[in-house]
Amino acid sequence: MQPLNTTKPKTRLSNSNLLFIIAGIILILMYGFALISYPESFKQFQTFFDLFNLNAALFIVTLGLCIVMIGGGIDISVGAVCGLVTMACAMLLQSGTGNIWGALFLALGIGLGFGIMHGYLIAYLEIQPFIITLAGMFLAQGLLTTLHKEPLNVTMPAFVALRDFIIEIPWLGTENRLGVFIPCEIKPGVVVVVVLVVLYAVIMKWSRFGRNLYAVGGNRQSALMLGINVKKTIFFSYVLCGLTAGISGFVFLMTTGAGNIGNGSLFEMKAIASNVMGGIMLNGGVGNLLGAPIGTLTLLTINELIRAAGVQSNFQAIISGLLLYLFIVLQSFVMSLRGRTKFKLALPTWLKPKQPSGEKEVENQG
């Protein structure tokens, strides 16, 4: 009688987790290079937290767009919807007839309205998502300029108190030149980002909707054969993206305190770039939702590095574009290597999470 083979088969690292690990390593290397090259700018903890304080709305937009991209879609209207929400909420608050809760519900309503419209046209009428969301971008921009063409500052006392509210971290900070300890500060928008990251990560990892979305993004025909309601899944991905854009607009207003026709400008392009840098594939089915904030941090770190280096503003976009080319080529190179039968990359045994016997990792799930 031959002895039983108790050796467990090697678990191959999924594409989503592989790209996420690469994105995390790149972020660490990028920020480490910034600390070494420009310590006076990056060694302070507040500099890192300010990346979140000043760009919380971008983090939120990137999260919503990440969900759509995992499903194999795209939404280029999120920036314009974000700007429309800021102006509409600013007008409501400044009119004296509304309150903060009313403005929040208005923001959610606008985002939800665009999400339902886009989701229905794309999922059930099967119109190309780029065309539909392009029309949505023009619609939101037109409504934005129609509502109010000039910047509108919100002076409502309750909202000003919310805008100026800060949360101190007493055990973390830096000393100034006089030796006075200054604790780090975060804005309420950062709390919203953290809550949404945790919530959406749970949805994409453990809910049926998240599993279905990965399957739809990977191969729609296979998803149909598995009994997945593809149209319903796509519809809800756009609804969730629109709702997230509405939240982003309200957080943007909390950050700046004013409605402006330039609010949310190019957010959709920055969000797409951030997701690509975070390991989310444009063709869908591959990506870890936690890669969205990682990619956003990488993009913001690159921009801060360029500013610290004293590069002129007209060259900043050029350098960012070239680096985005690099990320896309790196993703394509890794995926081409993964397609070869002889190339198999697995985690070392000491890095592997413990899994129940018989449980196998789905290749394309993050």
User: Using only C-alpha atoms, what is the Rg of the chain?
Assistant: 22
Distance (Å, whole) CA 197 – CA 356: 26
Q: Where in the sequence is the domain holding 294, given as residue range(s)? A: 15-171+182-338
Let me know if residue 177 belongs to a domain.
no
Let me know if residue 41 belongs to a domain.
yes
Supply the pTM of this predicted model: 0.86
Confidence (pLDDT) at 210: 93
Q: Which residues pair with 184 in a beta bridge?
A: 169
pLDDT in tens, the chain (366 residues): 455 555 555 566 777 788 888 888 888 988 898 888 888 778 888 888 999 999 999 999 999 999 999 999 999 999 999 999 999 999 999 887 878 999 999 999 999 999 999 999 999 999 999 999 999 999 999 999 998 888 889 989 999 999 989 988 888 777 777 777 788 889 999 999 999 999 999 999 899 999 999 999 989 999 999 999 999 999 999 999 999 999 999 999 999 988 888 888 889 999 998 998 888 888 888 888 999 999 999 989 888 888 887 776 667 778 778 877 887 787 777 777 766 644 454 444 544 555 544 444 444 444
Token representation of residue 351: 């890095």
Distance (Å, whole) CA 65 – CA 238: 9
Domain containing 240 — which CATH number?
Answer: 1.10.3470
Burial classification of residue 213, based on how many CB atoms lie within 10 Å of its CB (0-12 exposed, 13-18 middle, 19 or more buried): buried
Let me know if residue 352 belongs to a domain.
no
Q: Which residues pair with 169 in a beta bridge?
A: 184
Let me know if residue 365 belongs to a domain.
no
Let me know if residue 81 belongs to a domain.
yes
DSSP calls for 28-50 = HHHHHHHHHH-HHHHSSHHHHHH
Let me know if residue 259 belongs to a domain.
yes
Let me know if residue 65 belongs to a domain.
yes
Confidence (pLDDT) at 70: 94
Count of structural domains, the chain: 1
Let me know if residue 5 belongs to a domain.
no
